[in-house]
Structures are given as C-alpha cells and as structure tokens.
Amino acid sequence: MAVGHFEPVAPAPTVYVCICNGVTERQIREAATAGCTTVAELTMRTGAGANCGSCLDMATDVLHAAQPAPREPLLPILTLSHAA
C-alpha cells in the first residue's frame, strides 16, 4: 500500500430491528444517546414495538447496550451524617 493511500471503508449495513415501522438499530442507538432510557419511551420516539411487538427483545437489548455508562462523581458526595 502506498503512503497516503487509503482504502475506502464500506458503510455499516443497515440493520432493521422493527420491520413493521422501519426502525433501525442506528435510530435506537441515537435515541439512547439523546436520553431515551425505557422501552416505552423508545416506542414513543421511534415507533419500535408499536405494532406486533416481536422486536421488543432486540430493541431492548440495543437500547440498553447503547446507553452511556454511568459516570462516577468527580468529588465524593457527603451526606449530612458524615458532615461536621
């Protein structure tokens, strides 16, 4: 391979999670990034699972996998019993 030559990268294939409403894995990940945390909220935002419901297991897995990891507080949080 010559220096400065880059091979084109094929785009990731579109994976449909909900065929009834045409909801993709990417749309579910984007909803999770935007703050969606529950399946009910996901259904309201994207329509996934609103018809037959056979996609709900996969939609739930994608939603939970895409949610950002909880962040540790920068400083310890003191409760009133520890203060003073």
Q: What is the pTM of this model?
A: 0.70
pLDDT digits (tens, 9 = 90+) for 1-46: 556 777 888 777 899 999 999 999 999 999 999 999 999 999 999 9
Q: Percent of the chain at pLDDT above 70?
A: 83
For the chain, which domains are there?
16-66 (1.10.10.1100)
Q: Which of 15, 21, 12 is nearest to 61 (CA)?
A: 15
- Which of 44, 42, 35, 34 shows the shortest CA–CA distance to 58? 42
| Digit-coded pLDDT (tens) for 21-30 | 999 999 999 9
